[in-house]
Amino acid sequence: MIRLISIVVIILLYQAVNAQNGDSLLLNETTLSRPLNVHKKQIRISGDYFLALSSAQFIGSDKVEDSGRTRTFSGFNIDIRYGITEFLQVRMNLRRSSEVIIEPALFDAFGADFFILNSSVEEIGFGDPEIWLDYRIPFLGPRTDLVINVGGSLPLTSTGENQPGIQDTPSIIDFFEGIDFRNVNRIKSINTGNGVPRLGYGFQFKHRFKRTAFNLQSSYLLPLKTSTEDRWVPSDTGFDETIEIYERQIPDNLFISGSFEIQMRPWLNVAVGTSYFRSRYGWNETEGQKLAIPEAILSQASFTYEIIATKNLWLGQTLNFNLSAENIYSPLLLTTAVKYNFFL
């Protein structure tokens, strides 16, 4: 019994000493000075909540007038990382998003006297989880960090389209006597999984001065194979939907960002940055042909602040706004992040 108590006491003492080491590490670090990887045996859990305050659609590089179109976009991202050694960390990333686009649909008549048509596209759900290994190059000194990232996403979440729903409701419009209006809305629900594994690689670089630092980051994600998906197609004469199986290639995604940060106070760090996102090489099979998905480009500027609320808990917000875009929605995006750190 005494032996058992001794073992428990030793374990508790070890954990207490270890925790003190970890706590003292966190206590003395600022956003600017902390390494890009977490420390050995450190766990960081981050939750980011993002909300689009407004969105603009770009077809080609032209901004499309939003006549009758509404887009709402929000979600959260969970990032968990663990320091295997002082230079190697593993991180897992899971993202849930909700994107709803409601727009007038240009279908032809379906036999009703009069009707009003909307088309809703909903993409709501978890995306494929991503797993990364980040290796921080040693011996570069306290001012410079260079991290090599290798990882990718696993096709664990649902993909393809669900059978569209039709909402058919009476209208309150009585502009024309003797004519019954009705509302018809086709709701297309798309799952957010990719259906195929993707391979990713990239790097992060940071160089520090006394109170400022430069950051540069890049990542590239590409699918390892083509996928087979379901899609529902309305007939020409009504809402009889037929299912079609088709092949598709998920586009490659390139992401580059750079930022300049200032440590204003020991607890406050602000950064301004810019980012570039490009998605290309994707295609959908349509009537036996491979139809290219238009290349999408999004350049944004960002303003970020991070506050060290306690040595374990950090809070931050980022505002992203559009610089230029092609074939993509460009949101004014507000992201609120909470990061919690502890040591095993």
Partner 1 sequence: MKSLSLTFIFSCAVYLAYGQSAEGLTPLERKQLTVLSEPATLYKGFLQVGYNFKYSSPGRLFDNNGDITTPNDFNYTGDNLDHIFRIAYGISDRIQLSVSIPYTNSELEALLQFNETGNQLTAIKIDVNKKGFTDLQTEAKFQLIKESRTFPSIVAGLGAYFPTGNNERSFTTDPNTGDAKYDDITGGVGTSLLGTLQLRKIMYPYLLSLEFTYFKGTDGEIIENGQSIDVIGADSQIWQFVAGMHLNEWITFTNKIYFQRLSFNSEIEPNETIPIFDTSKKDLLTFDPTLSFQFGRIRSEQFISIPVAGKNSGAELEYSMSLQYTF
Distance between CA atoms of 204 and 259, rounded to whole angstroms? 11
Contact characters 173-192, partner 1, x per CB under 8 A: x-------x-x-x-x-----
Q: Which is nearer to partner 1, 131 or 307 (CB)?
A: 307
- Measured CA to CA in angstroms, residue 245 lies from 181, 282, 288 at distances of 35, 17, 11
CB of 328 to partner 1, least distance (A): 18
CA neighbor of 226 nearest in space, from 249, 193, 255, 252 = 249
Cα-Cα-Cα-Cα dihedral sign, residues 169, 187, 328, 335: positive
CB of 304 to partner 1, least distance (A): 15
Considering only 222, 270, 315, 319, the residue that binds partner 1 (CB under 8 A) is 315
Encoding tokens for residue 135? 């290796």
- Measured CA to CA in angstroms, residue 193 lies from 153, 171, 288 at distances of 10, 36, 24
Q: Does 103 participate in binding partner 1 (rule CB under 8 A)?
A: yes
Q: Does 307 participate in binding partner 1 (rule CB under 8 A)?
A: yes
Q: Does 167 participate in binding partner 1 (rule CB under 8 A)?
A: yes
CB of 178 to partner 1, least distance (A): 13
CB of 217 to partner 1, least distance (A): 26
Three-state DSSP class for residue 341: strand
Helix (H) or strand (E) holding 61: none
Q: Which is nearer to partner 1, 69 or 207 (CB)?
A: 69
Q: Which is nearer to partner 1, 184 or 296 (CB)?
A: 184
CA neighbor of 149 nearest in space, from 137, 132, 161 = 132
**Part in contact with partner 1 (CB under 8 A); list of ranges 60-68, 189-197, 284-292, 322-330:** 60-68
CA neighbor of 161 nearest in space, from 228, 102, 76 = 228
Contact between 220 and 202 under an 8 Å Cβ cutoff? The reply is yes
Cα-Cα-Cα-Cα dihedral sign, residues 238, 240, 241, 242: negative
Considering only 109, 224, 292, 344, the residue that binds partner 1 (CB under 8 A) is 109
Q: Does 172 participate in binding partner 1 (rule CB under 8 A)?
A: yes
Distance between CA atoms of 50 and 45, rounded to whole angstroms? 16
Q: Does 77 participate in binding partner 1 (rule CB under 8 A)?
A: no
Considering only 24, 61, 70, 235, the residue that binds partner 1 (CB under 8 A) is 70
Distance between CA atoms of 122 and 82, rounded to whole angstroms? 34
Residues 111-140 interacting with partner 1 (rule: CB under 8 A): 111-118, 120
Q: Which is nearer to partner 1, 164 or 200 (CB)?
A: 164
Helix (H) or strand (E) holding 110: none
Q: Does 335 participate in binding partner 1 (rule CB under 8 A)?
A: no
Considering only 21, 30, 33, 54, the residue that binds partner 1 (CB under 8 A) is 54
CB of 246 to partner 1, least distance (A): 27
CB of 67 to partner 1, least distance (A): 6
Number of residues that bind partner 1 (CB under 8 A): 45
Three-state DSSP class for residue 112: coil
Q: What is the distance of C-alpha 236 from the center of its chain?
A: 36
Distance between CA atoms of 170 and 238, rounded to whole angstroms? 18
Encoding tokens for residue 322? 């559009």
Q: Does 100 participate in binding partner 1 (rule CB under 8 A)?
A: yes
**Part in contact with partner 1 (CB under 8 A); list of ranges 103-111, 130-138, 250-258, 294-302:** 103-111
Residue 180 phi/psi, 5-degree rounding, is: -90, 120
- Interface residues toward partner 1, by CB under 8 A: 49, 51, 53-54, 66-70, 72, 74, 100, 102-104, 106-109, 111-118, 120, 167, 169, 171-173, 181, 183, 185, 187, 307, 309-310, 313, 315, 317, 334, 336
